[in-house]
């Protein structure tokens, strides 16, 4: 019988599915799990080389998987040169906060801010270039919104990128203008994301540093795999940096498995080339991503009925691409065995994507190895929840988004539609597979915050609102943890590789100091990652807990 390199012991082991934990061991050899079960089998897998780690009552579970993040920007936002202003309450507070980075970048370099959210300001109106101009008339400044769908820039920045009143809007995006047609420095949707190629033009060694630092952060939270999603619908400029990943893999520096989802483009040329090159064990490409609408806070999410606080008659938002173009893209992806991930926030965008998924299965057949996935899914038409399940679509949702903009959502959509916002309980009860993530850097990548949000429907920062927002949509802790492990592995087409603790699966494991499956949900926020293992290698060890012991 093969002996283990490691044996992990605990009174609380969670396999990744089901309601319960159990006492036992997990035996690891090379990069795989070889046994999960009763402690009486420990000696069968032990020799003089085996390291035994007894975690007592701590929770052993599959490594966390963030099903939706943007790796490049997450690493950038973690850098001290970027000022993150997610808690600011006004336009002026955001401007004042830039003083923290004034001396960290050269006068001709972009001063970058991020995380602002005008819907949560005391005066919830979009900013303009004028406040930035007053503080910084002679150097370029760009501020990226919390949802990454809007960029706010000063006049020097507009000059640097060559934008003036004669610059036309681009397809899928627009910029705010005054009554004379002069740009106000605020860019939306594709007009915003198209700027990232200029704003994020860093030397290669600096970009690599972003990646390496962010991987350390991920491992410290027990995260062993991610889906890196295209952040802009421009082929080759989606910031899915396969070149950086490939270099780091060759150097043995990857400590997180990465599933790359580049922008979907007709012909699938880049995606096919990436699929041929990246089939594991650390880098994968089996899918593509696109955007179908925007965000509710800027009235760019696509709704069936007008916004409750409509800016103009018939204000339902709009799709970022013509609906029939999106239909053809999904059909092409399905035919060519690519899972498609589609940004859909508004109820009508979701409704149409379900139509297209049903058509794809009718035309090309159900392909169980494909997992088409809708991203964000904030607002539903009632019947579409069950249709989602029948169309075999996965719901990739970000629980930490629930309480980001409650007041804004209530203004935008009104009471009735709010009742079907982020309906996790209904989704699970209808048999829909859900996958959890954060959309980092939109919110912090900490998975415990997301699990807490899903279980309590309360803010991880101040506990509001008492009793939870739309409390009937709360889910159980085991359901939330399963969504962050097995469910997210499904969204990556990788449930046969990891996401559960079972023989033959990759030894991607995390250990938490509390049994969040069974304990009071309030303990979730007091929980820490003790140890993280990816492919049988310990990539994070919080030694302050003193849990490792060799026998």
Bond from prior residue into 122 cis (ω within 30 degrees of 0) = no
Average pLDDT estimate for 259-272: 95
pLDDT score of 460 more than 80:
yes
Q: How confident is the model at residue 23 (pLDDT cuts 50, 70, 90)?
A: very high
pLDDT score of 163 more than 50:
yes
Question: CA-CA distance, 200 to 73, in Å (whole number)?
Answer: 9
Average pLDDT estimate for 101-129: 91
Q: How confident is the model at residue 120 (pLDDT cuts 50, 70, 90)?
A: confident
Q: How confident is the model at residue 549 (pLDDT cuts 50, 70, 90)?
A: very low
Check residue 544 and give its pLDDT. Answer: 61
Q: How confident is the model at residue 15 (pLDDT cuts 50, 70, 90)?
A: very high
* DSSP per-residue letters across 373-432: EEEE--B--TTHHHHHHHTT-EEEE-GGGTTTSHHHHHHHHHHHHHTTBS-HHHHHHTT-
With a pLDDT cut of 90, the percent of the chain lying above it is 83
Task: Report whether 23 contacts 70 (CB < 8 A).
Answer: no
Task: Report whether 341 contacts 288 (CB < 8 A).
Answer: yes
Q: What does pTM read for this prediction? A: 0.89
Please state, in angstroms and as integers, the Cα–Cα distance from residue 541 to each residue in 25, 222, 282, following that order.
Answer: 19, 10, 20
Check residue 399 and give its pLDDT. Answer: 96
Check residue 339 and give its pLDDT. Answer: 98
Dihedral pair phi/psi, residue 64, rounded to 5° = -70, 150
Question: CA-CA distance, 518 to 118, in Å (whole number)?
Answer: 38
Tell me what the pLDDT averaged over the chain comes to.
93
Tokens (6 digits) for 205: 């060694």
> pLDDT tens digits, residue range 513-537?
999 999 999 999 999 999 999 999 9
Check residue 171 and give its pLDDT. Answer: 79
Check residue 550 and give its pLDDT. Answer: 38
DSSP code of residue 180: T
> pLDDT tens digits, residue range 30-76?
999 999 999 999 999 999 999 999 999 999 999 999 999 999 989 98
CA dihedral 20, 473, 147, 285 (to 10 degrees): 40
> pLDDT tens digits, residue range 211-243?
999 999 999 999 999 999 998 776 667 889 999
> pLDDT tens digits, residue range 286-319?
999 999 999 888 899 999 999 999 999 999 999 9
């Amino acid at each position: 019988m093969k002996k283990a390199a490691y044996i992990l012991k605990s009174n609380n082991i969670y396999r990744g599915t089901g309601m319960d934990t159990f006492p036992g061991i997990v035996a690891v050899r090379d990069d795989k799990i070889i046994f999960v079960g009763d402690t009486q089998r420990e000696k069968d897998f032990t020799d003089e080389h085996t390291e035994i780690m007894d975690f007592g009552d701590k929770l052993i579970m599959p490594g966390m998987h963030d099903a939706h993040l943007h790796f490049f920007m997450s690493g950038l936002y973690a850098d001290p040169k970027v000022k993150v202003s997610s808690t600011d309450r006004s336009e002026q507070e955001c401007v004042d906060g830039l003083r923290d980075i004034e001396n960290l970048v050269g006068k001709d370099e972009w001063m970058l801010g991020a995380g602002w959210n005008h819907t949560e300001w005391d005066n919830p109106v979009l900013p303009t270039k004028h406040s930035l101009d007053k503080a910084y008339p002679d150097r370029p400044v760009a501020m990226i919104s919390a949802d990454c769908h809007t960029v706010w820039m000063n006049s020097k920045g507009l000059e640097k990128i060559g934008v003036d009143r004669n610059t036309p809007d681009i397809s899928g995006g627009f910029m705010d203008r005054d009554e004379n047609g002069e740009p106000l420095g605020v860019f939306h949707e594709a007009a915003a994301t198209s700027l990232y190629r200029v704003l994020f033009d860093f030397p290669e060694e600096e970009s690599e540093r972003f990646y390496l630092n962010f991987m350390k952060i991920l491992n410290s939270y027990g995260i062993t795999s991610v889906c890196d999603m295209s952040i802009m619908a421009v082929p080759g400029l989606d910031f899915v940096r396969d070149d950086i990943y490939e270099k780091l893999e060759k150097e043995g520096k990857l400590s997180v498995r990465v599933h790359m989802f580049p922008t979907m483009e007709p012909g699938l040329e880049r995606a096919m080339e990436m699929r041929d090159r990246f089939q594991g064990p650390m880098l994968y490409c089996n899918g593509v991503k696109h955007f179908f609408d925007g965000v509710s806070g800027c009235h760019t999410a696509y709704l069936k009925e007008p916004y409750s606080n409509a800016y103009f008659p018939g204000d339902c938002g709009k799709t970022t691409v013509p609906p029939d173009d999106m239909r053809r893209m999904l059909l092409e992806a399905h035919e060519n065995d690519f899972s498609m991930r589609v940004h859909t926030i508004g109820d009508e965008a979701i409704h149409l994507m379900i139509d297209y998924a049903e058509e794809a299965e009718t035309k090309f057949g159900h392909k169980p190895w494909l997992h088409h996935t809708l991203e964000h899914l904030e607002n539903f038409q009632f019947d579409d929840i069950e249709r989602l399940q029948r169309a075999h679509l996965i719901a990739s949702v970000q629980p930490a988004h629930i309480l980001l903009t409650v007041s804004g959502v209530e203004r935008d959509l009104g009471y009735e539609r709010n009742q079907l916002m982020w309906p996790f309980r209904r989704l699970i009860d209808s048999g829909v597979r859900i996958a959890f993530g954060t959309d980092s850097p939109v919110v912090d990548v900490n998975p415990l915050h997301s699990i807490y949000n899903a279980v309590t429907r309360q803010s991880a920062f101040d506990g509001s609102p008492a009793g939870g927002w739309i409390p009937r949509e709360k889910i159980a802790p085991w359901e939330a943890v399963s969504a962050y492990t097995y469910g997210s592995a499904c969204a990556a087409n990788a449930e046969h590789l990891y996401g559960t603790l079972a023989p033959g699966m990759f030894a991607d494991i995390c250990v938490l100091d509390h049994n969040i499956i069974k304990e009071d949900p309030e303990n979730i926020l007091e929980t820490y990652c003790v140890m993280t293992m990816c492919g049988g290698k310990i990539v994070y060890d919080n030694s302050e807990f003193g849990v490792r012991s060799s026998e």
